[in-house]
Amino acid sequence: MRMPPPRGTLSAWLAATLRRSPSPTRAAVPAPPAPGERPAAWEDEDLQLALWCCYELHYRGFEDVDEDWEWHPAVLALRGSLERRWLTSLRDLVGEHEAVPAEAVPGALRELTGQGGGPDLSGYLARKAGRDQFAEFIVHRSVYQLKEADPHSFGIPRLDGAVKAALVEIQADEYGGGRADRMHSELFRATMRWLELDDGYGRYVPSVPAVTLAVSNLMSLFALHRRWTGALLGHLAALEMTSTGPNRRYSTGARRLGAGAADRRYFDEHVEADAVHEQIAAHNMCGGYAADRPSAAADILFGAACCLALDDVLAGHLLGRWQAGQSSLRPLVDSRSAA
Ligand SMILES: [Fe+2]
Ligand SMILES: [Fe+2]
């Protein structure tokens, strides 16, 4: 993957900076621009793209960026200023969460994830979406699903005992139990190929709007800061606890549109696996973590609430655009042309 085309001053500064050599003997990197007055962070194209690129240095990186930029102070300074804005927006979006006793954490997660009432994207995909809309949905999802489970794996070295074992049990399934062809990211690739989409990592980053990048950036924010480990676990629990119903409907929609069993396996696998994962995540993982660290309960619920809220914003974006007869994607750009 190469650096995606910039969307404003922040991502343009980052693109220009990362194309230089990070060598300390070269001229000093100019200070990053201050974010200034901006829209809510999840709608901010420039901020989300810049943040996504900063985070990506810790995952697969970019072909056209020197690996030594990963921990460069200039990049971390930009990232820090973007994250402060990002966190303020997230707090505005979901509000404060009260700490609850550890034994009440699984119930509080169930209450949060059971609230419903958001835009019914999975129902629309099951019953009405055409093949082009279903493909758009998969394009949005590909930004995270092609590195599915990777952000939450950053939590593993930060945990001990039964809580660590619970997270590893979930992650082992996500990574196919040691079989590459069963990794969830690979099952997702099969669904992409059914829709004749390019299954290359990061291929559609230039095409997706801020909110889609925000869904990924939320996980990376929690993953890359040990201080947010509770939120990372709460986020994973919310994903697992809201997975079986929607994935059943995605599978129904895919079958209606002609997908064979292998093309739908990604969805069907989640219907089965996540019925188990949600129990492990709520009780053993989040309940256990809160028992070890009672002060983390509020973070766990904050992470879960952010996950659910951004999912609703993304679903609302897709349905709103489709109802208006428009595409939910940005106009197609060839990322190589901006390199
Ligand atoms: Fe999965
Ligand atoms: Fe899962």
Residue-wise pLDDT tens digits, 127-156: 999 999 999 999 999 999 999 999 999 999
Amino acid at residue number 33: P
262: CA distance to ligand 2 center in Å?
18
Residue range 49-60: mean pLDDT, rounded: 98
203: CA distance to ligand 1 center in Å?
20
Residue 336 is predicted with a pLDDT of: 41
Residue-wise pLDDT tens digits, 64-98: 999 999 999 999 999 999 999 999 999 999 998 88
186: CA distance to ligand 1 center in Å?
10
Residue 299 burial (10 A CB sphere; 0-12, 13-18, 19+): buried
DSSP 281: I
107: CA distance to ligand 1 center in Å?
23
| Nearest ligand (C-alpha, residue 239) | 2
Residue 23 is predicted with a pLDDT of: 80
Residue 268 is predicted with a pLDDT of: 98
| Nearest ligand (C-alpha, residue 169) | 2
CA distance 243 to 108: 17
174: CA distance to ligand 1 center in Å?
5
278: CA distance to ligand 2 center in Å?
7
| Nearest ligand (C-alpha, residue 274) | 2
> Per-residue confidence at 99, pLDDT binned at 50, 70, 90?
confident
184: CA distance to ligand 2 center in Å?
9
| Nearest ligand (C-alpha, residue 144) | 1
320: CA distance to ligand 1 center in Å?
27
- Residue 81 contacts residue 88 (beta carbons within 8 Å): no
CA distance 128 to 114: 24
172: CA distance to ligand 2 center in Å?
10
Residue-wise pLDDT tens digits, 191-242: 999 999 999 999 999 999 999 999 999 999 999 999 999 999 999 999 999 9
13: CA distance to ligand 1 center in Å?
35
What's the angle, vertex CA 11, arms to CA 84 and CA 145, rounded to 5?
Answer: 80
| Nearest ligand (C-alpha, residue 170) | 2
197: CA distance to ligand 1 center in Å?
20
CA distance 56 to 130: 32
In this predicted structure, which of 127-131, 255-259, 327-331 has the lowest mean pLDDT? Answer: 327-331
Q: Where are the alpha helices (DSSP H) in the chain?
A: 9-18, 45-56, 73-94, 105-113, 121-127, 131-145, 150-153, 161-174, 184-194, 210-224, 229-241, 244-256, 261-279, 288-292, 297-323
Residue-wise pLDDT tens digits, 293-306: 999 999 999 999 99
270: CA distance to ligand 1 center in Å?
6
In this predicted structure, which of 25-34, 237-246, 325-334 has the lowest mean pLDDT? Answer: 25-34
274: CA distance to ligand 2 center in Å?
5
| Nearest ligand (C-alpha, residue 241) | 2
| Nearest ligand (C-alpha, residue 149) | 1
Residue 116 is predicted with a pLDDT of: 82
303: CA distance to ligand 2 center in Å?
17
Query: What is the pTM assigned to this prediction?
Result: 0.95
| Nearest ligand (C-alpha, residue 236) | 2
| Nearest ligand (C-alpha, residue 278) | 2
